[in-house]
A and B are shown apart, each in its own frame.
Chain A
Amino acid sequence: MLELILQQLTSGLAIGMTYALIAIGYSMVYGILKFINFGHGAVYMVGTYIAFFAWQFLFQYLPVWPSFLLALLLSMVGAAIFGILMEKFAYKPIRHRSRLTTFMSSLGVSFFITYGMEFLVGSAPRTTPALFEGVRFKVAGATVTGMQIFMLVVTVVIVIILQWFVKNTRTGKAIRACSEDAGAASLMGVNLDHAISATFAIGSSLAAVAGILVGIYYRAVYPTMGWIAGLKGFVAAVTGGIGSIPGAMLGGLLLGMAENLGAGFVASGYRDAMAFIVLIMVLMFRPMGIIRKEQRSSL
Chain B
Amino acid sequence: MLLAAIAPLFIHTTFVLHVMVLLCVWVVLSLSLNFITGYAGQLALGHAAFVAIGGYTGAILMLDYGISFWIAILVGATVAFASGLILGLLAMRLRGDYLGMVTMGFGEIVYLLAINLINITRGPMGLPGIPRATILSYTFKGEIPYYYVALLLVGITFFTIKRVLFSRFGRACLAMRDDETAAEAMGITSYRYKVLSFCISSGYAGLIGAFYVSWVTLISPDSFRLADSIIISAMITMGGIGSLYGPIFGGIAIGLLPELLRPLTSGPYLGSLRLAGVGLLMVVFIILKPAGLFGTDTRTIYLSLETFRNLFHRMKRLPGKGKNLA
Contacts and interface: CB of A to CB of B under 8 A. Distances in A.
Nearest to A112: B279
A227 B226 contact: yes
A100 interface: yes
Contacts of B113: 273
Contacts of A35: 97
Contact of B90 (A227, A231, A234, A280): A280
A88 to B, nearest CB: 12
B237 interface: yes
Contact of B105 (A104, A231, A270): A231
Nearest to B105: A276
Interface in B257-275: 265, 268-269, 272-275
Given A35-B97, A36-B101, A280 B269 contact: no
B234 interface: yes
Contacts of A284: 90, 93
Nearest to B101: A234
Contact of B269 (A108, A119, A275): A119
B60 interface: no
Q: Which of B91, B282, B286, B287 has the most CB of A within 10 A?
A: B286
B276 interface: yes
Given A99-B96, A110-B279, A115 B273 contact: yes
B276 to A, nearest CB: 4
A105 B283 CA distance: 5
A87 interface: no
Contact of B290 (A97, A270, A280): A97
A99 B11 CA distance: 46
Contacts of A105: 282-283, 286-287
B275 A111 contact: yes
B160 interface: no
Q: What's the dominant secondary structure at chain B's contact region?
A: helix
B96 A111 contact: no
A43 to B, nearest CB: 14
Given A112-B276, A267-B116, A273-B109, A279 B283 contact: no
A124 B54 CA distance: 31
Interface in B100-138: 100-102, 104-106, 108-109, 112-113, 115-116
Contact of A90 (B98, B226, B230, B283): B283
Contacts of A36: 97-98, 100-101
B216 interface: no
Nearest to B96: A100
A279 B265 CA distance: 39
Interface residues of A, number: 48
Interface in A100-131: 100-101, 103-105, 107-116, 118-119, 122-123
B116 A276 contact: no
A108 B254 CA distance: 14
Contact of B282 (A99, A100, A111, A119): A111
B298 to A, nearest CB: 17
A279 B103 CA distance: 11
Contacts of B95: 299
A123 B272 contact: yes
Contact of B106 (A93, A113, A119, A276): A276
A280 B105 contact: yes
B278 interface: yes
A111 B108 contact: no
A123 B270 CA distance: 12
B105 A107 contact: no
A115 B276 contact: yes
Given A101-B290, A112-B280, A269 B112 contact: yes
Nearest to A90: B283
A9 B233 CA distance: 38
A103 B230 CA distance: 12
Contacts of A272: 108, 112
Contact of B286 (A94, A234, A277): A94
Contacts of B105: 231, 235, 275-276, 279-280
9 contacts: A112-B283, A114-B275, A116-B279, A119-B272, A269-B116, A275-B105, A276-B106, A280-B105, A284-B93
Give me the 6 closest cross-chain CB pairs, A-B, nearest first: A111-B279, A276-B105, A108-B282, A112-B279, A115-B275, A108-B283
